[in-house]
Amino acid sequence: MSILITGGAGYIGSHTSVELLKAGYDIVIADNFSNSKPEVLNRIEELTGKKFKFYEIDILDRDSLNKVFLENSIEAVIHFAGLKSVGESVAMPISYYYNNITGSLILAEVMAKHDVKKIVFSSSATVYGMNNVSPLTEDLPLSTTNPYGSTKLMIEQIFQDIYVSDKDWSIALLRYFNPIGAHESGRIGEDPKGTPNNIMPYITQVAVGKRDKLSIFGDDYDTHDGTGVRDYIHVVDLAKGHLKAVEKIMGTKGIDAYNLGTGIGYSVLDLVKNFEEATGVKVPYVITKNRPGDIATCFSDPTKALKELGWKTEKTLKDMCKDSWRWQSNNKAGY
């Protein structure tokens, strides 16, 4: 029996694949490399000493996906495959809705056809929108402000409706806060194409000399130092949360959403300071204007994941900074 990992060549998928293999699961990865590179597969094998099957397919291709289920005994799916850039989603909404939503619909359809009804889905804290007050709990009203976020919210809704129609499904919707960091070996990590949108890859690219300075988007927010506050989570802690979610869906039926975060908010300036202290490398920065759509503060209440999945984070902000830096400095050009 295997776990199918869609998008398993990506940033979070590759770290989750390592943790699943280490825990003794058989896995099958399906990815179209639209935002990842084949080299990551060698690294996963190198880190675990385990072999696994890989399919270079687009999940929008129903026949190829069907073949994966015909050729393997899939027990459950972890569904990472999706496009994830907020800015790009505003510029290319059709691609985002098509890839993320149609991709998820085709996956659910092929799963149902093969009577595989256990899935862990990569949702995002973005579904809490702009109006809720942190710490955010899973039962708050949901809303979104951009097409990327809307795809996550709609896919959550689609899975809710699938469960209502067929109570044999077992579904975990994981709402990630801000994943950063890398595997402590420095062999796998985040490898964004072009200019990074998210803060940590930007910081490491400044630190490695690839970019001049960090632009901090605003210092007039209502936070302890005026810069935006977020719940940064180490990607390996996040990966381990998927293991716990897989254990949960194996043993039960139903649908539940879980926050995966630390419950602690750090500002952009806290992050820069911790990075400099953890690595000994200076990060020059300038304060620029606020990024449209950003909120002042966003952090989780992770109590439900602790209670129901038995999961909590273990790594500190300094661990995240050290590991991001080890990955970046050992792999200056990415994979």
Burial track 80-103 (b if 16+ CB lie within 10 A, e otherwise):
bbbbbbbebbeeeeeebbebbbeb
The verdict on 268 binding ligand UD1 (CB under 6 A) reads yes
Question: At its nearest, how many Å lie between ligand UD1 and the CB of residue 288?
Answer: 8
The verdict on 26 binding ligand UD1 (CB under 6 A) reads no
Residue window 105-144: x/- pattern of binding to ligand NAD, with contact defined by CB under 6 A: -----------------x-x--------------------
**With respect to ligand NAD, which residue has the nearer C-beta, 92 or 287?**
92
DSSP codes of every residue in 27-44: EEEEE--TTS-THHHHHH
The verdict on 84 binding ligand NAD (CB under 6 A) reads yes
Determine if residue 209 is left, alpha or beta; phi over 0 gives left, psi from -120 to 50 gives alpha, anything else beta.
Answer: left
The verdict on 198 binding ligand UD1 (CB under 6 A) reads yes
Q: How many CB atoms lie within 10 A of CB 137?
A: 14
Residue window 84-113: x/- pattern of binding to ligand UD1, with contact defined by CB under 6 A: x-x---------------------------
The verdict on 82 binding ligand NAD (CB under 6 A) reads yes
- Using CA atoms, how far apart are residues 105 and 136, in angstroms rounded to an integer? 28
Listed ranges 53-61, 127-135, 193-201, 248-256: which one lies at the site for ligand UD1 (CB under 6 A)? 193-201
- Using CA atoms, how far apart are residues 304 and 256, in angstroms rounded to an integer? 10
**With respect to ligand NAD, which residue has the nearer C-beta, 226 or 334?**
334
The verdict on 181 binding ligand NAD (CB under 6 A) reads no
Question: Is 148 considered catalytic here?
Answer: yes
Structure tokens, 201: 């890859």
Structure tokens, 67: 């073949």
Q: Which partner, ligand UD1, ligand NAD, none, binds residue 3 by CB below 5 to 8 Å per kind?
A: none
Question: At its nearest, how many Å lie between ligand UD1 and the CB of residue 334?
Answer: 17
Q: Which partner, ligand NAD, ligand UD1, none, binds residue 216 by CB below 5 to 8 Å per kind?
A: ligand UD1
DSSP codes of every residue in 148-166: HHHHHHHHHHHHHHHHHH-
- The per-type count for the chain, helices as H runs and strands as E runs, is 12, 14
- Contact with ligand NAD (CB under 6 A): which of 29, 59, 257, 309? 59
Determine the residue with CB nearest ligand NAD: 10
Listed ranges 29-37, 106-114, 226-234, 239-247: which one lies at the site for ligand NAD (CB under 6 A)? 29-37
- Using CA atoms, how far apart are residues 44 and 213, in angstroms rounded to an integer? 32
DSSP codes of every residue in 69-105: HHHS-EEEEEE--S---HHHHHH-HHHHIIIIIIHHH
Determine if residue 255 is left, alpha or beta; phi over 0 gives left, psi from -120 to 50 gives alpha, anything else beta.
Answer: beta
Question: At its nearest, how many Å lie between ligand UD1 and the CB of residue 279?
Answer: 18
**Pick from 103, 210, 105, 87: which is nearest to 157 by CA?**
105
Query: DSSP strand E in 155-249: where?
Result: 170-176, 178-180, 214-217, 229-230, 232-234
Which of 148, 176, 221, 266 does the annotation list as catalytic? Answer: 148
**With respect to ligand NAD, which residue has the nearer C-beta, 160 or 226?**
160
Residue window 220-239: x/- pattern of binding to ligand UD1, with contact defined by CB under 6 A: --------x-x---------
**Pick from 139, 150, 178: which is nearest to 257 by CA?**
139
Contact set with ligand NAD (CB under 6 A): 7, 9-13, 31-36, 58-60, 80-84, 99, 103, 122, 124, 176, 179
Contact set with ligand UD1 (CB under 6 A): 84, 86, 124, 126, 149, 178, 197-199, 202, 214-217, 228, 230, 268, 291, 293-294, 298
Residue positions annotated with a catalytic role:
148
